[in-house]
Amino acid sequence: MPNRPYIVGNWKMNGTRAMLSEARAIDRAAARYPGVQVALAPPFTLIAAMAAEAQAIGIGGQDCHTAVKGAHTGDISAAMLADAGAKLAIVGHSERRGDHGETDAVVKAKAEVALAQGLGVIVCVGETLAERDAGNAEAVVKGQVAASLPDLPEEPQRVAVAYEPVWAIGTGRVAAVSDVIAMHRAIRATLTQAWGAEGAKVRILYGGSVNAENAGDLLAAEGVGGALVGGASLTAESFLAIVAAASSAREE
Ligand code: PGA
């Protein structure tokens, strides 16, 4: 079911083993929503434990290195993620781009190495508030997509793009549905330009202050193939409300 909505929780630098019970509850409940594809990206330290137990959800990493192995103290490779049981990797999150100076070229290299290791990838893009206020949001995001997207892989459906306006991340300030629709359309056009007809197979997710209240409207919006959820993915209760909203949005 390639067009199932894809709901991905990004735990960022949150979570110790005490939180495995939340993941367990999410996994158990996700089995009740076969029409929704659910994944969680915990910190690296929890991937193996979660992956060993997960049945209904995919477990992923929040980043990976551009190399498969080598002298890169503190880094984790896509091969290591796969070895730990991960099925996907998020790459190019704005916190990686911002905190670690990751460029589009680095993000592209990470996406390609993750695909080569058999993982799915979620390539994150999004404009800053200054860029939006200057009227440059679409140009910035289209540029990021064009330069961060991996070269056309054998299985393009393993790639998703997450549109996350930087000003909406962790701020409680969600993008207007009409702006999300317009941006997703622009991203789709860029994907088609890059990959031809195969560009239609890429799911485009929205991220940035998604919660139980706004998820229904966002997920029902034209061109929105799912959500990348930060804060609201940290408890089973708030995350499952979003999964439920995705399930109803699909039935409407
Ligand atoms: P948020 O984070 O849901 O807490 O805004 C989203 C993200 O950064 O992926």
Question: What pLDDT does residue 236 have?
Answer: 98
pLDDT of residue 1: 39
Position 117 scores a pLDDT of: 98
CA dist 176 and 167 (Å) reads: 12
Beta bridge partners of 8: 39, 228
Question: Which spans in the chain are helix H?
Answer: 20-30, 44-53, 78-83, 94-100, 104-116, 129-133, 137-148, 177-195, 215-220, 236-251
Question: Over the stretch 188-212, which tens digit does the pLDDT of each residue have?
Answer: 999 999 999 999 999 999 999 999 9
Mean pLDDT of the chain, nearest integer: 96
Q: Which of 22, 65, 93, 184 is catalytic?
A: 93
Q: Catalogue all structural domains in the chain, each as residue range(s) with its CATH number.
A: 6-251 (3.20.20.70)
Question: What does the pLDDT average to over 89-106?
Answer: 98
**162 Cα nearest atom in ligand 1:** 9
Report whether pLDDT(2) > 60: no
Taking only the tens place, the pLDDT of each residue in 67-84 is 999 999 999 999 999 999
Check: pTM over 0.85? Answer yes or no: yes
Q: How far is the CA of 238 from the centre of ligand 1 (A)?
A: 13
214 close to ligand 1 (CB < 6 Angstrom):
no
d(CA 127, CA 14): 24
Contact 145/31 with Cβ under 8 angstroms? no
* Residue 211 Cα: closest atom of ligand 1: 3
The whole-number pLDDT of residue 252 equals 62
Could you confirm whether 102 is annotated as catalytic? no
Measuring CA to CA, how many Å separate 189 from each of 11, 146, 168, 201, 213? 30, 10, 23, 12, 29
Q: Which amino acid would we find at residue 247? A: S
